[in-house]
Amino acid sequence: MFTGIITDIGHIKALERRGDLRARIATRYDTAGIDIGASIACDGVCLTAVALGAGWFEVDISAETLSRSNLNGWSEGRAVNLERALKVGDELGGHIVSGHVDGLAEVIALRVEGDSTRLTLRAPDALAGFIAPKGSVALNGTSLTVNEVSGAEFGVNLIPHTKEVTNWGAVQVGDRVNLEIDTLARYVARLREWGGAA
């Protein structure tokens, strides 16, 4: 589990096609404190550390993950939002994030408002009903508050701090970003589907 609070910006050092895609990611994390098998959210996707070195770790990315996320667009040098898995007792500063991407949202508008940036995104129709004003979404692993919703379109605001400590500072119209809907919204929808029966 994660919180959507990004704690490092990594960079893709190398990509290698094997049975899966192997990615080597440079990080400022102390990799001596990361175990093989540890979960690390990379642009919001929960991936497993399979190799470690000083200042880098490697992950394997399956075809399923590539088909449901924007990781198939990764290239060497790309900045990646990173978050280590939540530990018992850690501060929950964002919201509960599983690292299981539901689909891709497209950035369809961007405008500067003071020092902040307002984004409008379009969610896949199948996910739009899970997004509510003042609710939470994880976009590229970042916990963000939804400002407004209109059909499949929704808006979020990026404050200067968020743009500085994540890869959101380079966002452009047309970008496709990893979308994870709020876990609570998922379960509420499932209960409603079953008429509230236990």
- Same domain (yes/no): 122, 185: yes
Please state the domain count of the chain.
2
- Same domain (yes/no): 31, 68: yes
The pLDDT tens digits of the residues spanning 104-157 come to: 999 999 999 999 999 999 999 999 999 999 999 999 999 999 999 999 999 999
pTM of the prediction?
Answer: 0.92
The pLDDT tens digits of the residues spanning 102-116 come to: 999 999 999 999 999
In contact, 31 and 55? CB cutoff 8 Å: yes
Q: For residue 178, give the CATH number of its domain.
A: 2.40.30.20
Residue 93: pLDDT band (50, 70, 90) is confident
Structure tokens at 33: 């404190």
Q: Among candidates 9, 4, 13, 86, which has minimal Cα distance to 45?
A: 4
Helix (H) or strand (E) holding 188: helix 183-193
The pLDDT tens digits of the residues spanning 52-78 come to: 999 999 999 999 999 999 999 999 999
The pLDDT value recorded for residue 36 is 98
Q: Which domain holds residue 170?
A: 103-193
